[in-house]
Amino acid sequence: MTSIDSYKIGLDIGVLQDVNFNKFERQINVPGITVEDELLNVEKANQDKYFCVNPGYGIKRIEINEKANQVILQGSAKVLKDQYFEGINLNTWERVVKGYNNTGYVKLDPVEVLNNAELFSVDVSANMTMDREPWEYIRALRMLKVNEKYESREYKNPGSKSVNGITFRGSQRSFKERQIFYDKETDVSREPELRQYVGKYRNALRVEMNLQQLRRIRYYFGQNSLQDVLNSKINANYLLFEKINSKASKNLLQLFDRYEGMTLQEVERIMGQDQIIRDICLMDWDMVVQWLKSMQKGNPVRKRKQYRERYLMLASEGGKLLELNSPLLDELIDKLKRVA
């Protein structure tokens, strides 16, 4: 069963059981629209809308377009408040709709909405309770060697200056994919409406993927029906993470460029040193020094200088790990496999 957070859904206007148009603002038809516009661009032509913005906590927008016979609902799982940790799923959906009904703008039946709604965009999310503090896993993720079609960046919560996680972004032009891992406890502690429930989020590492196009929703779930997505057993976050960290994506040309002009013996020495620094000593210089002392008699000044040069080079590159061999990442992947 899938869990989601932010969403934008559309449904037939007939699903509305009641509506208080007096509470809505109105956006009137844009002048100068031609018959051709109406044929070629329905969205542009159908500009006679009733809408409201932020009518309740966790509800971003309600829009009613009578000409297009459509209702648009935008919101997030924050409407659930004490159940925000669980996210929007089939078990919490009725409470989401209750949040809309409590605004006094519309009256909806949760079953009718679920049967009728189509997702236009969605954040598929999960909170994973980890064995250690989230920043340790985020630091491990920063060391990850990612697929060449993706890049990693620091993540900051909206409105915050401090780094709270890591974002993986796709570089594809035809569509954009993004996956975020971040400390959910810190995020919740900033929300006055949620702060009282912060105890639930101890050691909670949040993972979410942003699907902003219909075809990307259908790519992962086969359809964009809200009911089908929430009922799906497809673990979309795990599938995307597998794409991001693909070991087969290593660019062979980059390897040739890096070692161009070196002898095989020099390449073997450098790659061996890199593996010792990264994989055995985990980019800890003090541990590298202890390793050298344990492996070589006397004062290994020359070797230490070589290793120091390699250490500084790797540190400047972010100390990227070639493979997923960290116990922290093993735990993360194991828990990611078991979320939806």
pLDDT one-digit tens code per residue, 128-181: 999 999 998 998 888 776 677 788 888 987 777 778 899 998 877 777 789 999
What share of residues in the chain are helix, strand, coil (percent, to 5)? 45, 25, 30
Tell me the residue type at 319.
G
- The values of phi and psi at residue 285, to 5°, are -65, -40
More confident residue, 37 or 18: 18
* Widest CA span in the chain: 88
Local confidence band at 249 (pLDDT 50, 70, 90 cut-offs): very low
Question: Would you say 76 and 6 are in contact if contact means Cβ atoms under 8 Å apart?
Answer: yes
Confidence check: pLDDT of 324 > 80: no
Of the listed ranges 79-83, 247-251, 268-272, the least confidently predicted one is 247-251
- The arithmetic mean of pLDDT across residues 46-52, rounded, is 82
Hey, where are the domains in the chain?
1-116, 123-250, 252-316
Task: Supply the mean pLDDT for the chain.
Answer: 85
72-81: b (≥16 Cβ within 10 Å) or e: bbbbbbbbbb
Confidence check: pLDDT of 124 > 60: yes
User: 135: buried, middle or exposed (CB in 10 Å: 19+, 13-18, 0-12)?
Assistant: middle
Per-residue pLDDT, 327: 81
Question: Would you say 12 and 108 are in contact if contact means Cβ atoms under 8 Å apart?
Answer: no
Q: Residue 157 is encoded by which pair of tokens?
A: 């919560």
Q: Residue 149 is encoded by which pair of tokens?
A: 């079609």
- The values of phi and psi at residue 69, to 5°, are 60, 45
The helix or strand, by DSSP H or E, that contains position 224, with its residue range, turns out to be none
Question: Would you say 237 and 339 are in contact if contact means Cβ atoms under 8 Å apart?
Answer: yes
CA distance 320 to 25: 52
Per-residue pLDDT, 113: 97
- The values of phi and psi at residue 18, to 5°, are -160, 155
User: 140: buried, middle or exposed (CB in 10 Å: 19+, 13-18, 0-12)?
Assistant: buried
